[in-house]
């Protein structure tokens, strides 16, 4: 027995709506991840061993004798790299906030890929909704 085109359209619409619901569920999950983020800081945190300006210091000749470790937060400001020496007690908070920024960037990438996958389904549904049932204006 062959399905009528009206039933076919209804079942296609139903499949598209189900697919759209699955996409919306994934979007809600990303929103939840976003909601859980704390404060953000761009850049990175690193430890460095430094040679000093004293020409007779052992740090000039022996890398193991370098001074430090010193902790730096590095970021970009107006296209220029900026590094700031930070205290040990600041380092943990900087690292957490930098990690939060990386999580945000990851969420944005996931959300963008989800949107790209969702687009065709959303467009098909929108066009179906505009057409309405056969025989209606």
Q: What pLDDT is attached to residue 19?
A: 93
Q: Is 131 among the domain residues?
A: no
Q: Is 6 among the domain residues?
A: no
Considering its fold, how many domains does the chain have in total? 1
Q: Is 86 among the domain residues?
A: yes
Q: Give, as one character, the DSSP assignment of residue 4.
A: P
Q: Whole-angstrom Cα distance, residue 15 to residue 49?
A: 60
**Per-residue model confidence as pLDDT tens for the chain (137 residues):** 445 555 777 788 889 999 999 999 999 999 999 999 999 999 999 999 999 999 999 999 999 999 999 999 999 999 999 999 999 999 999 999 999 999 999 999 999 999 999 999 999 989 988 876 554 55
pTM score:
0.74
Query: Structural domain of residue 32, as residue ranges?
Result: 15-121
């Amino acid at each position: 027995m062959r399905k009528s085109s009206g039933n076919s359209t209804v079942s296609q619409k139903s499949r598209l709506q189900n697919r759209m619901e699955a996409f919306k569920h994934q979007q809600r999950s990303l929103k939840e991840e976003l909601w859980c983020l704390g404060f953000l800081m761009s850049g990175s945190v690193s430890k460095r061993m430094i040679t000093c300006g004293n020409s007779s210091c052992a740090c000039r000749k022996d890398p193991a004798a370098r001074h430090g470790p010193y902790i730096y937060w590095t970021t970009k400001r107006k296209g220029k790299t900026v590094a700031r020496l930070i205290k040990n007690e600041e380092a943990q908070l900087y690292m957490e906030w930098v990690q939060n920024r990386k999580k945000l960037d990851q969420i944005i990438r996931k959300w963008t890929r989800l949107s790209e996958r969702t687009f065709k389904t959303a467009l098909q549904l929108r066009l179906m909704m505009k057409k309405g049932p056969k025989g209606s204006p």
